Chains A and B, each alone.
Chain A
Amino acid sequence: MAAKINFDFVSPESLIFSGEVDMIILPGKEGDAGILPNHAPFMTSLRVGVVEVTINSNIKKYLVDGGFADVSSEGITLLAERSFNLTESSSDEHSQLLNEVNKDLDKAESDKEKEDLNTKKEILLVNKN
């Protein structure tokens, strides 16, 4: 098996994921970035989008509400305040979040907020399991 890369996914409340992975695709602010082992040191802020983690050809998907990724020689650290596990969540949790997003969408005022929430909604609809 090819080289692996250390990946830590943390939120302010807990450590969501920690372990060795094969590849990660990050929704960077200026475009998606795929990170493979031995990547050059790199830091980016994230937009609302999906983080794809590949472990032994299994793919895990997380919805993030923006955040930061820090790629260094030791591995990748992903900081996201709010995230949602798209692959391993039940359909109840899924529809609950979708409801919340819809509610927020009604309240949203600025265009930026609306845009972000719409992206979120689309991601949720596309990734329905």
Chain B
Amino acid sequence: MSGLKELRNRITSVSSTQKITRAMQMIAATKLRKAKEGAESARPFSDKLADILRNLSKSFFGQDNAPPLLVGTGKDDTHLFIIASSERGLCGGFNSSIVKLAKNDALELIGKGKEVKFITIGKKGKEILNREFGDKIIMSYVFADIKTVGFNQADEVALKVLELFKNEEFDKCRIYYAKFASVLSQVPTALGLIPLDIDGSENIEDNNDCYEYEPDEEEILNDILPRNLSVQIFRALLENVASEQGARLTAMNNATRNADKMIDQLTITYNRSRQATITSELIEIISGAEAL
């Protein structure tokens, strides 16, 4: 009889877990929609900025007087990794896949005798990295009490990075985040911030417009580069938020489905053993009656 009661308890506990996962799935779906909207509204700004940068930087690449923020310090000794992660767990392999990518790169660089430093954004990334690279994390940001990541947070991180760069504490900087490909797939990505990865450099359209610059090109470039850093970080954070919700949606969907399966199985076992008890009771009664 105790078997029956245990089974009943397990069914109740699985179904209440399922209730939670289903609720989380629905919340993730709404948040995902919002996060996608946010990422989309950020796009015009960063696209335009990238356009301007592309136009401006063409003339500077390969020159000695190119701004270090654009081409790096020329050295390759210390690398700074910015790891964007989530504040909460229960989102499948989201955080671990970002950290794994960064870890592999870090180990490769360390193997070559380079130094690696980390800045983490989000609680989870820090937790995972702490185990192996605890002493190399120079700064960690936790935005747990902020509902939606805004430009101010990205700016805060960017200012810190600029300060470190000015003090020559690193030579190259990369940000690791999950690129939002679709709800089902989020691709962990590394983006070079210093020196700058300018994407799509092969399809530079020849702009026939003969621009007039005020102040001159170099000064505008020096003005635009620090801003670009904030914008790139902001964009990465937004993509990351969307990816996190996508990952959570998938993870919770799976969990709900697994719970369904488990409940089905448990119910069958429960019914079977209930039937078995009834049968054995009946046999007892019948054989008792026959003995009379």
Of the 9-residue stretches B41-49, B80-88, B240-248, B254-262, which lies at the interface with chain A? Answer: B41-49
Q: Do A12 and B46 contact each other (CB < 8 Å), given the known contacts A45-B219, A68-B224, A81-B151?
A: yes
B52 and A70 within 8 A (CB)? yes
Query: What are the 6 A-B residue pairs with the smallest beta carbon separation, nearest first?
Result: A41-B209, A44-B214, A10-B45, A12-B151, A14-B41, A45-B223
User: Binary interface profile of A, 65-90, with partner B (CB < 8 Å = 1, else 0)?
Assistant: 00010101100010101100000000
Contact residues in B for A12 (Cβ distance below 8 Å): 42, 45-46, 151, 154, 230-231, 234
Given contacts A45-B224, A68-B52, contact A30 B210 (CB under 8 A): no
**What are 16 pairs between A and B in contact, CB < 8 Å?**
A10-B44, A10-B48, A11-B45, A12-B231, A13-B151, A29-B214, A41-B211, A41-B212, A43-B52, A43-B212, A43-B214, A44-B213, A45-B215, A70-B52, A79-B45, A81-B151
Residues of A within 8 A of B210 (CB): 41
User: A11, B212: Cβ atoms under 8 Å?
Assistant: no
A81 and B219 contact, Cβ closer than 8 Å, known pairs A12-B42, A30-B214, A43-B212 = no
CB proximity of A129 to chain B, nearest CB, Å? 26
Would A30 and B215 count as touching, CB distance under 8 A?
Answer: yes
- Which residues of A line the B interface, CB within 8 A? 8, 10-15, 28-30, 33, 40-45, 68, 70, 72-73, 77, 79, 81-82
Tell whether B160 is near chain A: CB-to-CB under 8 Å: no
Q: Are A45 and B41 in contact (CB under 8 A)?
A: no
Q: How far is the CA of A33 from the CA of B230 in the complex (A)?
A: 27
Assembly CA distance A45 to B216 (angstroms): 10
Given known A11-B45, A14-B41, A79-B45, contact A42–B234 (CB-CB < 8 A) = no
Residues of A close to B231: CB separation below 8 A: 12
Interface residues of B (CB under 8 A from A): 38, 41-42, 44-46, 48-49, 52, 150-151, 154-155, 209-215, 219-220, 223-224, 227, 230-231, 234
Decide: A81 and B155 in contact? CB cutoff 8 A: yes
- Chain A nearest CB, measured from B188 CB (Å): 23
Majority-rule SS of A interface residues: strand
Query: Which residues does chain B contribute within 8 Å of A8, judged by CB atoms?
Result: 44
- Is B52's CB under 8 angstroms from A11's CB? no
**Is the CB–CB distance between A43 and B45 below 8 Å?**
no
- Tell whether A42 pairs with B211 under 8 Å between CB atoms, given A11-B151, A12-B234, A68-B224: yes
Q: Closest B residue to A11 by CB, please name it.
A: B45
Asked if A42 meets B214 with Cβ closer than 8 Å, knowing A11-B151, A13-B42, A13-B151, the reply is yes
Decide: A29 and B155 in contact? CB cutoff 8 A: no
| Contacts A43-B52, A45-B220, A68-B224 given; does A15 touch B44 at CB 8 Å | yes
A97 CB, nearest partner CB in chain B, Å: 14
Quote the shortest CB–CB distance from B42 to chain A (angstroms). Answer: 6
B227 and A28: CB pair below 8 A? no
How far, in angstroms, from A79 to B230 measured CA to CA in the complex? Answer: 13
Q: How far is the CB of B241 from chain A (nearest CB, A)?
A: 13
Interface contact A70-B45, CB-CB below 8 Å:
no
In the complex, A11→B45 CA distance in Å?
6
Which residues of chain B have C-beta atoms less than 8 A from A13's C-beta? Answer: 38, 41-42, 150-151
Complex: chain B residue closest to A69, CB-CB: B214
B155 vs chain A, min Cβ distance (A): 7
Q: Give chain A residues whose Cβ lies under 8 Å from the Cβ of B151.
A: 11-13, 81-82
Q: In the complex, which of the residues A10, A30, A43, A79 contacts B211, with contact meaning CB atoms closer than 8 Å?
A: A43
Q: A10-B44, A79-B48 are in contact. Are A28 and B150 (CB under 8 A)?
A: no
> In the bound complex, do residue A81 and residue B44 qualify as a contact, i.e. CB atoms below 8 Å apart?
no
Q: A8-B44, A10-B45, A44-B213 provided; 10 other pairs, C-beta below 8 A?
A: A13-B38, A30-B214, A33-B214, A43-B212, A44-B215, A44-B220, A45-B220, A70-B48, A79-B45, A79-B49
